[in-house]
Structure 1
Amino acid sequence: MIDFFSVEGKVAIVTGGLGQLGSQFTKQLAENGAKVAIFARRDRTKDEVEAQFPGLSDRIRVYRSDVRDKDSLIEATDRVIADWDTPHILINNAGIDSKPDGDADQNAPFEVYPKKYWDDVIETNLTGCMLCSQVIGTKMSEAGRGSIIMVGSMYGMVSPNQALYSYREERDGKPFIKAISYAASKSGLLNMTRYLATYWAKKGVRVNLVTFGGVKTGSFDKEFIEAFLERVPMGRQAELEEFGPIVQFLGSDASSYMTGANLVLDGGFTSW
């Protein structure tokens, strides 16, 4: 019997594959037989990879690159092809957001939001996805197959609910606004996905978006979690392990007739 969900022997590239979500995607694919190339800003030794992914270091390699730097992406992709093969799967996961406890200007009111933070987020989250898709997707199209998976956010479908963050001003005595740049970058992925899906449809390259909701990390304030869960029909945050299988599905032949789609995993948040 054919296992259409299998990724055995496939080559995958995961940008930002050492981070919280990226490491989950990397682990999911490697545990199921894929060879995973992580694109990261600094190298990791095999021992470091083994420490983060026990028992999987023979299937996972880290290639130094920057999603904002096309030359570094070309070099890293050429190395992956020389080492393993033309990638079958690309997960455009690398991304940044404003830090709640970072520079106050990162979460300043829109009227005075600094352009430098807009540029940083858009360049990484949107331009970075375009460059990775351009470099790696071109190789896929030449090979006549491939699956590109964009990693989106519920804030790419709906605007951030600023009421969720109002407790910060009450607590700290200064305005806290969830910035426009993250939402704009993730909403841009919706149409980038559709554009590339139709552009490469006859070349065998599929392009889909996964829209994720809130995930349990332990890094959010209690007040935020309580307010957030009131707006989630399922009444809970996602577990990290719930996000891995969807990328395996999209990277496998089980989704062979799916392209240009947006798969939403948000506990129903965007349904209200």
Structure 2
Amino acid sequence: MDPVFDVSQEIAVVTGAAGQLGGAYTAAFLERGARVVALDRSVDPDLLTRRLGPLAASDRLLPVAADVTDRAGLEAVLAQVRSRFGTPTVLVNNAGIDTPPDVPAAAETGPFEDYPEASFDRVMAVNVKGVFLCCQVFGGAMAEAGRGSVVNVSSIYGVVSPDQEIYAYRRDRGEVFYKPVAYSTSKSALHNLTRYLAAYWGRKGVRVNTLVLAGVFNHQDPAFLAAYTGRIPIGRMADPADYVGPVLYLASPAARYMTGADLVVDGGWTAI
């Protein structure tokens, strides 16, 4: 392996590791020799095995159950990681929640004026406060150690407004459906958190960047897929494998002079 892309000596914390993308990132780091902390609200061994295959039994994998909105719980995880592997060198802030396009709850997907305050608070707690706390705990440990890379996972909807027209098929069916406001608001917040921390930790050897992603294929409604892929230049939704390379790049020495930046990997969505 070209040493500039080598992550074999890294200790990577991946949040939301039980999810579709988190599992792909966890597997990618393990396949390349890194030690990986797979952090999620619950750690189901069967789900990990489905996500990771034989890698789920690796002695370089530490699955931990923790809530990213609970600082005390994250500090307990950090102590566990230090005891097992040492101080983390990579943090992938992947955990996040959204309202999926097939959600049946009209209260979640009605007009902006009626969007529930409790829903807004719930999304912001995970997607913003959770990243903030993980950066404080794991990123702070990296800054103390003098090296590290933080990857804050954002979205096209943190850069541009949701295109409400791709959800028109729901309204054509007589449903009330608008992409809710909270997800976009939460993801946009990550960009300036990234810039803040890049400036704050720059002299301490910690790089902080934002990875901007488009939607991932997960057997969505065919009507949604047709509307979505018709809007994106590459003509398809992403596969989790499409995002593995960018994450590894940001974690590796190849990105050693990159901090405070947005790496946009969106199939061309934001180009038009």
Counterpart of 1:236 in structure 2 is 236
CA distance in 2, matches of 1:69, 1:84: 22
8 Å contact from structure 2 (residues 18, 48) kept in 1: no
Counterpart of 2:8 in structure 1 is 8
CA distance in 2, matches of 1:90, 1:152: 14
CA distance in 2, matches of 1:267, 1:80: 36
CA distance in 2, matches of 1:201, 1:227: 42
CA distance in 1, matches of 2:116, 2:239: 34
Identity, % of aligned pairs? 43
Q: Secondary structure at the match of 2:82?
A: helix
Mean Cα deviation higher: 27-36 or 224-233: 224-233
1:212 has 2:217 as partner: no
The gaps in structure 1 that reach 5 residues or longer are none
Kindly report the root-mean-square deviation, in angstroms, between the aligned alpha carbons of the 2 structures: 1.4
The gaps in structure 2 that reach 5 residues or longer are none
Counterpart of 1:20 in structure 2 is 20
CA 1:6 to 1:117, structure 2 compared with 1: closer, same or farther past 3 Å?
Answer: same
Offset, 1:52: 3.5
Counterpart of 1:187 in structure 2 is 188
Counterpart of 1:89 in structure 2 is 90
CA distance in 2, matches of 1:235, 1:42: 35
Give matches, 1:161-176, under 5 Å: 161-171=163-173, 173-176=174-177
CA distance in 2, matches of 1:170, 1:2: 52
Counterpart of 1:223 in structure 2 is 223
CA distance in 2, matches of 1:74, 1:133: 11
1:114 has 2:120 as partner: no
CA 1:211 to 1:241, structure 2 compared with 1: closer, same or farther past 3 Å?
Answer: same
Give matches, 1:51-200, under 5 Å: 51-56=50-55, 57-58=57-58, 59-99=60-100, 100-171=102-173, 173-200=174-201
Deviations 1:2-21 (A, max 9, x none): 51101112110000011011
8 Å contact from structure 2 (residues 169, 223) kept in 1: yes
Counterpart of 1:37 in structure 2 is 37
8 Å contact from structure 2 (residues 24, 51) kept in 1: no
Deviations 1:37-74 (A, max 9, x none): 011112445x7644542222222221121001000000
- Alignment length, in residue pairs? 269
Letter in 1 for 2:162: P
Q: What is the TM-score with the length of structure 1 in the denominator?
A: 0.95
